[in-house]
Structure 1
Amino acid sequence: MDSLSEQQQQASEKPIINITGEKVALGPIRRDQVPLFYRWANDFNVLRTLHIPRPSTFEENLAFFERDVEDEKRRTVVHFTVYDRASLTPIGRVDLEEINHRDRRAEFGIEIGEPDYRGRGYGTEATRLMLDYAFTGLGLHNIGLYTWEYNLAAQAVYKKAGFREVGRRRQAKFMGGKLWDIIYMDCLSTEFVSPVLSKIMVPDEVRS
């Protein structure tokens, strides 16, 4: 096995981690995870809380990955894979999109793709770590999101992480034979206490 093949094998065995919390860790998205993203993108139980459920092809998800990589180069988005800290199993993704460094704002998104990790606090901590990155790492001030009125689990996660409701678009989402509100939420840097990065993003002390 040549050196490059060894490096590729090692990369697939142990992911790079950027931010570590108590239950989850965040690291860069990877091409070898596209099959995972493909499977998650076809889970209708997840899609009912995101957008209109429909099947998507592997090629489509590979194209999404390539687009995400290009957008990251332009500093307009940031994507992290969410890992179970204990096993380093990839369980989902968190994203910052529409990053506006001048106005210090961005839009937040999260997907916990693995069913066994939903409703157990992993999404809440992943959200808090992403807010920490947005505020402490990037110096942003306002992080916004929107969700559906019927998505009670997501609303609970967002509120625990630090978001608050700031408005509604009434009866603008159809689900289960009924029209629901779209709920808009945001979080400000002045309302958030950094759990991790405030201990890392610090200047060097002067040495005598």
Structure 2
Amino acid sequence: MNTQIYLRPLELKDADVSYKWRNDPEIWSYTKFVLQQPITPEVEKQWLLNKLNQANEKRFAICVKNTNEYIGNIQLLDIENEKAEFHLFIGEKKYWGKGIGYAASLMLLKYAFYNLNLKYVFLEVHAENLAAYSIYRKVGFEQVSQEHDFIKMVINSSVLLAIN
């Protein structure tokens, strides 16, 4: 991977970029998100404002180190009872296939297990999203079930510690 990244907490100003991603059907083709109407910067800011103060969520921007460009989001949602739900997307398509999803996943999982002391992190991935599935397997997620088009995967803290 040539592109080095860092994670930072999402900020309200990120809505000026992320609203464009939310209007791109290719980005959401393998998710449960369905665009009902175009997302404006104002709608995105209001949505983000509501999300940033949730005590049981940790939302981060994925940024390129040498340019500080904001290129995607990674988050832990529904944090409770030592577990959380994992979400990742790279909104800037020129960065797809560059190893960024893998690097960002490792960073967030280390944060989840070392800083938040979580025991389990789970996710759902569309069965046809082979790139994401590959990332999750490489990081250490294991498939536990499949319902319709979505595969549920889980990683526990001891798995990540063994890999890294």
Q: Among residues 55, 63, 71, which one is paired with 1:83 in the alignment?
A: 63
Query: What is the letter of the counterpart of residue 79 of structure 1?
Result: R
Match of 2:7, SS state, is strand
- Residue equivalent to 1:37: 18
User: Could you give the per-residue CA deviations for residues 11-68 of structure 1, whole angstroms, max 9, x where no partner exists?
Assistant: xxxxxxxxxxx82100111122111110111111101122344232323211211111
Q: For the Cα contact (< 8 Å) 1:132–1:194, is it kept in 2?
A: no
Q: For the Cα contact (< 8 Å) 2:140–2:163, is it kept in 1?
A: no
Question: Unaligned stretches of 5+ in structure 2?
Answer: none
CA distance in 1, matches of 2:66, 2:40: 31
User: Could you give the per-residue CA deviations for residues 129-175 of structure 1, whole angstroms, max 9, x where no partner exists?
Assistant: 00000001110010000011111111011111221111111x3xxxx
User: Is residue 69 from structure 1 mapped to residue 52 from structure 2 by the alignment?
Assistant: yes
Q: Which has the larger radius of gyration?
A: 1
Match of 1:63, SS state, is helix
User: Could you give the per-residue CA deviations for residues 44-103 of structure 1, whole angstroms, max 9, x where no partner exists?
Assistant: 1101122344232323211211111221xx2x0001110112222111010100000xx2
Q: Among residues 150, 164, 185, which one is paired with 2:142 in the alignment?
A: 164
Q: For the Cα contact (< 8 Å) 2:86–2:122, is it kept in 1?
A: yes
Q: For the Cα contact (< 8 Å) 1:35–1:58, is it kept in 2?
A: yes
CA distance in 1, matches of 2:163, 2:39: 36
Q: CA deviation at 1:195?
A: 9.0
- If the length of structure 1 is used for normalisation, what is the TM-score? 0.72
CA distance in 1, matches of 2:84, 2:115: 13
- Residue equivalent to 2:161: 193
Aligned residues: percent identity? Answer: 28
Q: For the Cα contact (< 8 Å) 2:82–2:120, is it kept in 1?
A: yes
CA separation of 1:160 and 1:40: change in aligned 2, threshold 3 A: same
- Residue equivalent to 1:138: 116
User: Is residue 110 from structure 1 mapped to residue 88 from structure 2 by the alignment?
Assistant: yes
Question: Unaligned stretches of 5+ in structure 1?
Answer: 1-21, 172-180, 197-208
- Residue equivalent to 2:6: 25
CA separation of 1:113 and 1:194: change in aligned 2, threshold 3 A: farther
Q: How many residues align?
A: 160
User: Is residue 48 from structure 1 mapped to residue 16 from structure 2 by the alignment?
Assistant: no
Q: For the Cα contact (< 8 Å) 1:108–1:144, is it kept in 2?
A: yes
Q: For the Cα contact (< 8 Å) 1:125–1:161, is it kept in 2?
A: no
Query: What is the letter of the counterpart of residue 48 of structure 1?
Result: S
User: Is residue 57 from structure 1 mapped to residue 40 from structure 2 by the alignment?
Assistant: yes
- Residue equivalent to 1:17: none
CA distance in 1, matches of 2:156, 2:25: 32
- What RMSD, in angstroms, separates the aligned Cα atoms of the two structures? 1.8
Query: What is the letter of the counterpart of residue 28 of structure 1?
Result: P
